[in-house]
Amino acid sequence: MDEDTDRSRLPSRRIADDLRAAIVSGELGEGERLASERELARRYGTARNTAREAVRILAEEGLVDPRHGRGVFVRRRRHLLRFGGERYSRRLRQETGLSPYRAELAKQGLTARVDCASIERVAPPSDVAERLGLLTEGSTVVRRENWYYSGDDTGEDPVQVGITYIPWEIASGGVLATSARLGNGSLYARFEELGHRISRSREEITARMPTPREAKGLRVPGGVPVIDILHTGIDQEGHPFEVTRFVMRADLGGLDYDMPVED
């Protein structure tokens, strides 16, 4: 870039461009802390709010992660992977005693936290009712809303929200309808106790921009989409018994499906 062009850039853009180049080149490594706003302002001879604007630009691009009270860190490029058939296997539940999400994170060397935000009895949305075969007027489901977090040595991020719908006839009278704590093996162990062993799953995957609530709750950087997964659990008799809509941050989530090919 020539000297005249360099001088024409806004100071915040110049700082952001320099930091971006350092991140892309690896000079600033994943998880590394950036210089403080005060230090950046001193280094570039600008006001602190100019340095703050530069950091905001990088945060919106998904390159850095501001952490309150700790500083600003280069975002790790590693994605939290969602595995295909393995995540629902009985073997994995029996070996680990964990839910699919917790088992996935443990395999990737990350720590998991799950908050159950609500459990309620509701009328199912039309797409859920269709996939569960609940075509009778007045049918209801248990709606369980969970927010999922992933942590490492630099802190913790919200990575997805999952809203599970269970036919009332299956969930009523048990922990699926009443408790955030589902015990050893979590959700699918309780389904198996009720006679619904997950034998197949259908996952419809799309990408879109987040709703305002999703953007706030998942702390999605500006311009970053979400991955929308509509999962249907199907039991050994071929009957659908639960539907979960997972919404994942696209900058932190990824899919890794290893599936047999039909003849």
Q: What's the confidence (pLDDT) of residue 120?
A: 98
pLDDT tens per residue across span 41-64? 999 999 999 999 999 999 888 788
- Say what the pLDDT of residue 256 is: 83
Per the model's pLDDT, the better-predicted residue between 171 and 67 turns out to be 171
- pTM confidence score: 0.76
User: Over the stretch 236-253, which tens digit does the pLDDT of each residue have?
Assistant: 999 999 999 999 998 888
116-134 pLDDT tens trace: 999 999 999 999 999 999 9
What does the pLDDT read at residue 174? 95
Buried-state track 54-92, b at ≥16 Cβ within 10 A, e below 16? bbebbbebbbbbeeeeeebbbbeeebbbbbeeebbeeeb
CATH superfamily for 80-256 is Chorismate lyase-like (3.40.1410.10)
pLDDT band at 164 (very low <50, low <70, confident <90, very high): very high
- How do residues 2-11 score in pLDDT, each as one tens digit? 444 455 578 9
Beta-carbon contacts of residue 16 (< 8 Å; ≥ 6 apart): 54, 55, 57, 58
Torsion of CA 245, 179, 158, 140, to 10 degrees: 20
**What residue spans define the domains of the chain?**
3-74, 80-256
- Report the alpha-carbon distance of residue 59 to residue 56 in Å, rounded: 5
Compute CA distances 162 → 51, 86, 96, 118, 185, whole Å. Answer: 37, 18, 21, 11, 17
Q: Output the CATH code of domain 3-74.
A: 1.10.10.10
